[in-house]
Amino acid sequence: MENEIRDIALIEQYLEGKLTTEELEEFEVRLQNDELFKKLFDQEETLIAGIRYTGRKGILDKLEAMEEKLPKIDLEKPSEGKVVPMRRRTYLIAIAASIALLLVTVFVLNKPTNSEVLFAKHFTPYQNLITSNTRGEVTIKELKELAFLAYDQENYTEAISNFEKLPQEQKNEDIFLYLGNAYLAVGKTEEAIQNFSKVLEEKGDFQNQGRWFLALAYLKQGETQKATLAFEKLVEDGSSYGKRAAEVLKEMR
């Protein structure tokens, strides 16, 4: 398996023209003499060509749709009684401008925001310190332990389900903290913010953790002003998260 992965990486370098002269000679010799390698090469070449074609076709389809909306212009026959100079050139410029606009739009729409990048860099679900579970253990019956077991196994959807089934009177700041982390891990930022806010309302031992993850949730949500205030509070309080909060604040500027 490892050899195949290395061969695929080598083939990709070949197709991208990144091999040295010596590597290229060795590659071509192997391509002629190694039947399995030749088969793998053919598969990868076809796959990459398909991916490129799909990407190009998607753009071309969009361009064709845009072109249909442009006014129809007869490039051969000018309107009667009128001389329209450089009509063909103007038409081609319009098409070129449309292509440029489409490419820029695709790039902008798919580019992650700075807040999303910072969130992804700094978010790691908080480690379970509440219950001691053995991975794969099937004899645990209590709902709370099942929730933490799922959390430890990074099955956050199941963890959320079990945490939410707990009676309201059994939900305290530690449950809110881990429930918020589970929601954040599956991309449900609004629910995460609600639970982290409850952690702070409890005014217990998880204040710093609750504020840190609340700040990250605000960051992911794009609410940078609220995120900044939360990070600044961590720095001001000299909490264990102060150094990390200061780092994020620096990166946000």
Kindly state the average pLDDT of the residues 120-124: 74
Q: Which of 38-47, 112-121, 174-183, 211-220 has the lowest mean pLDDT?
A: 112-121
Asked whether residue 150 falls in the same domain as residue 218, the answer is yes
Tell me: do 84 and 193 sit in the same domain: no
What is the pLDDT, as a whole number, of residue 52? 55
Q: What is the 3-state secondary structure (H, E, C) of 106-121?
A: HHHHHCCCHHHHHHHH
Query: pTM of the full predicted structure?
Result: 0.49
Q: Do 160 and 235 lie in a common domain?
A: yes
The boundaries of the domain holding residue 140 are 118-252
Mean pLDDT to the nearest integer, 62-69: 59
Q: Do 130 and 245 share a structural domain?
A: yes
Residues 53 and 77 in one domain: no
pLDDT value at position 68? 62
Secondary structure tally for the chain: helices H, strands E: 12, 0
Cβ pair 146, 133 in contact under 8 A: no
Residue (of 228, 208, 229, 198) closest to 118 by Cα position: 228
Question: By the 8 A CB rule, do 234 and 243 touch?
Answer: no
Domain co-membership, 1 together with 84: no
Identify the domain boundary among 95, 111, 127: 111
**The one-letter amino acid at 175:** I
Better-scored residue on pLDDT, 158 or 15? 158
- Answer whether residue 59 shows pLDDT above 60: no
CATH of the domain at 161: 1.25.40.10
C-alpha distance from residue 163 to each of 2, 29, 129, 144, 174 (Å): 40, 60, 15, 7, 11
* Average pLDDT of every residue of the chain: 77
Domain identity same for 129 and 182: yes
74 burial type by CB count under 10 A (0-12 exposed, 13-18 middle, 19+ buried): exposed
Tell whether the model's pLDDT for residue 183 goes beyond 70: yes
Regarding whether 23 and 144 lie in a shared domain, the answer is no
Q: How far apart are the C-alpha atoms of 160 and 179, rounded to whole Å?
A: 6
The pLDDT assigned to 103 comes to 58
Which has more confidence, 25 or 194?
194
- pLDDT at site 82: 47
Same domain membership, residue 187 and residue 126? yes
Is pLDDT at 139 greater than 80 in this prediction?
Answer: no
92 has pLDDT over 60: no
Say what percent of the chain tops pLDDT 70. 65
Give how far Cα 29 sits from Cα of 12, 23, 25, 149, Å: 17, 10, 6, 53
What is the DSSP code (8-state) at residue 187? Answer: T
**Crossing angle (nearest 10°) for helices 114-122 and 207-221:** 150
Q: Is 111 left (phi over 0), alpha (psi -120 to 50) or beta?
A: beta
The predicted structure's pLDDT at residue 67 = 56
Same domain, 131 and 235: yes
Q: Contact 249/118 with Cβ under 8 angstroms?
A: no
230-241 pLDDT, tens per residue?
999 999 998 889
Place 135 in a pLDDT band, splitting at 50, 70 and 90. very low
Please check whether residues 76 and 169 belong to one and the same domain.
no
Instruction: Assess whether 52 and 167 both reside in one domain.
Output: no
> Which pLDDT value is given to residue 240?
87
Instruction: Work out how many domains the chain is built from and give that number.
Output: 3
Is the pLDDT higher at 104 or at 45? 45
In this predicted structure, what is the pLDDT of residue 35? 87
